[in-house]
């Protein structure tokens, strides 16, 4: 847990908290659409290839995590390797375990005879959003603790190229990028087994699989490097201009690579990595210009609330949503469905009603974050 004083002393930019808060806001909206109508297409993940606003959310959080790490790594480097490994391993295991328990929640289910029974661990998903965050945090921390930034950049290029090669070498020939026959699915089934991977797609396939976690580390790495650059030249027009140029070049390279290695969030392709970090660098530059240079802070407090307790608010939103979907009503709908269809769909039928449901739910989560912020309680997972 962190205090307001410790946060102030960390000298982090307000724009970073706003950026991270914005990603959490969008993440909750995307994950909790109202029922009774389809959400707007740009707030729904691309079915396989392609790109939507929803696809930007998770990689942006990884980028923000790397950015925040750039402010804390120097302090870690001043300590001993023992302190570093203790801190990093503890946080990695904690986040991974919480993510795993979240998918196991509520731990019990109704058995055949109507009695409660423990949900079998053999059917619990192992990988997921928090688990990927934990692994990316661990790998990026180790790289930047032991290696110079220039070497990490070279490693990042190798990772993206190697991942491209791995998918084509180990996927089924001619079907290397299809859901059932790609190397990600094959590795997850071989190591984790079908019972431990995501099953809410057309076939068992984990969008946060083991192999696709490798390129996602690059999102954290670029976020870290951007953070280092921001600390040195971020509050200058020259620095902002360089960030915008870098963002444009990365996005342009992504669209060029897309011609031979399609952009896909579920596969987390190398072109997808370049596109998302390119957009993130550009958005961060715009936020720094508006907030840090021009002092345009109106409205920033809303997103800042999310940014102060990002992982905790995300975890709360997931558990709260799962709980609401478990509570039945007399109409045979669960509580979340009932509110969406009998309240918001009555007021605004269609996609806007589904969007309003997600916004209302997100505001409830924001209220929790606001209360924590008011009490100066900052839960660092």
Give the C-alpha separation, 172 to 140, whole Å. 31
Residue in the block written with tokens 């059932």 = 180
Answer for the pair 124, 104: CB distance below 8 angstroms, yes or no: yes
Q: Which residue has the higher pLDDT, 107 or 257?
A: 257
Average per-residue pLDDT for the chain? 90
Answer for the pair 287, 296: CB distance below 8 angstroms, yes or no: no
Q: Residue 354: CB partners within 8 Å, gap ≥ 6? A: 33, 34, 35, 36, 37, 38, 39, 340, 344, 345
Task: Report pLDDT for 121.
Answer: 84
With a cut of 50, say whether residue 4 has pLDDT above it.
no
Task: Report pLDDT for 107.
Answer: 80
pTM to 2 decimals? Answer: 0.90
Task: Report pLDDT for 18.
Answer: 92
Give the C-alpha separation, 23 to 45, whole Å. 15
Give the C-alpha separation, 26 to 53, whole Å. 9
Task: Report pLDDT for 357.
Answer: 95
Bridge partners of 224, per DSSP, are: none
Read off the pLDDT of residues 190-203 as tens digits, 9 standing for 90 and up: 999 988 898 888 78
User: What does the angle CA 44 – CA 23 – CA 70 come to, to the nearest 5 degrees?
Assistant: 140
In this prediction, residue 235 has a pLDDT band, given cuts at 50, 70 and 90, of confident
Task: Report pLDDT for 268.
Answer: 97
With a cut of 80, say whether residue 103 has pLDDT above it.
yes
Query: How much is the average pLDDT of 336-349?
Result: 92
In this prediction, residue 162 has a pLDDT band, given cuts at 50, 70 and 90, of very high
Query: How much is the average pLDDT of 109-116?
Result: 73
Which residue from 69, 66, 72, 92 is spatially nearest to 221, judged by alpha carbons?
A: 66
Q: What tokens appear for 238 in the block? A: 């020259």
User: What does the angle CA 250 – CA 251 – CA 252 come to, to the nearest 5 degrees?
Assistant: 90
With a cut of 90, say whether residue 182 has pLDDT above it.
yes
Query: How much is the average pLDDT of 258-284?
Result: 96
Answer for the pair 284, 243: CB distance below 8 angstroms, yes or no: yes
User: What does the angle CA 314 – CA 142 – CA 147 come to, to the nearest 5 degrees?
Assistant: 135
């Amino acid at each position: 847990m962190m205090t307001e004083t410790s946060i102030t002393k960390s000298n982090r930019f307000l724009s970073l908290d706003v950026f991270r808060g914005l990603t959490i806001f969008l993440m909750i909206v995307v994950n909790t659409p109202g029922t009774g109508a389809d959400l707007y297409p740009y707030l729904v993940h691309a079915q396989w290839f392609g790109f939507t606003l929803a696809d930007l959310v998770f990689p942006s959080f990884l980028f923000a995590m790397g950015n925040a790490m750039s402010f804390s790594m120097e302090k870690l480097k001043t300590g001993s390797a023992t302190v570093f490994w203790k801190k990093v391993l503890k946080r990695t295991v904690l986040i991974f375990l919480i993510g795993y328990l979240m998918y196991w929640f509520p731990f019990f289910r109704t058995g055949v005879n109507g009695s409660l029974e423990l949900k079998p661990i053999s059917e619990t998903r192992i990988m997921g959003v928090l688990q990927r965050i934990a692994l990316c945090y661990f790998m990026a921390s180790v790289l930047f603790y032991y290696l110079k930034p220039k070497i990490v950049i070279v490693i990042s290029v190798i990772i993206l190229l190697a991942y491209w090669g791995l998918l084509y070498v180990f996927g089924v020939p001619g079907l290397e990028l299809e859901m059932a026959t790609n190397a990600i699915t094959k590795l997850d089934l071989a190591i984790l087994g079908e019972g431990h991977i995501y099953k809410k797609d057309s076939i068992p396939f984990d969008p946060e699989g083991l192999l696709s976690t490798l390129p996602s580390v690059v999102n954290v790495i670029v976020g870290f490097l951007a953070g280092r650059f921001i600390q040195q030249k971020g509050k200058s027009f020259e620095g902002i201009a360089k960030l915008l140029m870098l963002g444009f070049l990365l996005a342009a390279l992504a669209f060029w690579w897309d011609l031979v290695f399609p952009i896909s969030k579920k596969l987390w392709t190398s072109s997808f990595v370049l596109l998302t970090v390119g957009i993130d660098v550009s958005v961060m530059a715009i936020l720094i210009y508006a907030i840090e240079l021009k002092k345009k802070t109106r409205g920033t407090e809303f997103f800042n609330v999310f940014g102060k307790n990002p992982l905790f608010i995300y975890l709360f939103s997931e558990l709260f949503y799962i709980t609401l979907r478990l509570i039945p009503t007399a109409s045979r709908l669960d509580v979340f469905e009932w509110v969406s269809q009998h309240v918001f769909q009555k007021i605004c039928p269609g996609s806007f009603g589904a969007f309003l449901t997600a916004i209302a739910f997100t505001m409830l989560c924001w209220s929790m974050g606001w209360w924590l912020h008011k009490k100066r309680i900052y839960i660092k997972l």
